[in-house]
Amino acid sequence: RGHFPNDYTATKLLYLAIKNLAEKWKRPPKDWTAAMNQFAILFDERIRAVQN
């Protein structure tokens, strides 16, 4: 556990890190769409907040 109070916060940090890196990629990795769809399900509120 260490620095994260629960699994949700660790997952959220990973999502945000991957999202920031994805902007620099020239070609998305294989199955990236499926991964992003799963993140959208998990972090719907945050994604909507950023998009608005």
What digits encode the pLDDT tens for the residues 5-52? 888 888 888 888 888 887 777 776 788 888 888 888 888 888 777 776
pLDDT of 52: 65
pLDDT of 1: 52
> What is the pTM (predicted TM-score) of this model?
0.44
pLDDT of 7: 83
Question: Which tokens hold the place of 18?
Answer: 């991957």
Residue pair 21/27 in contact by the 8 Å Cβ criterion: no
Q: What is the DSSP letter of 26?
A: S
Does 3 or 34 have the greater pLDDT score? 34
Say how far apart CA 25 and CA 19 lie, in whole Å.
10
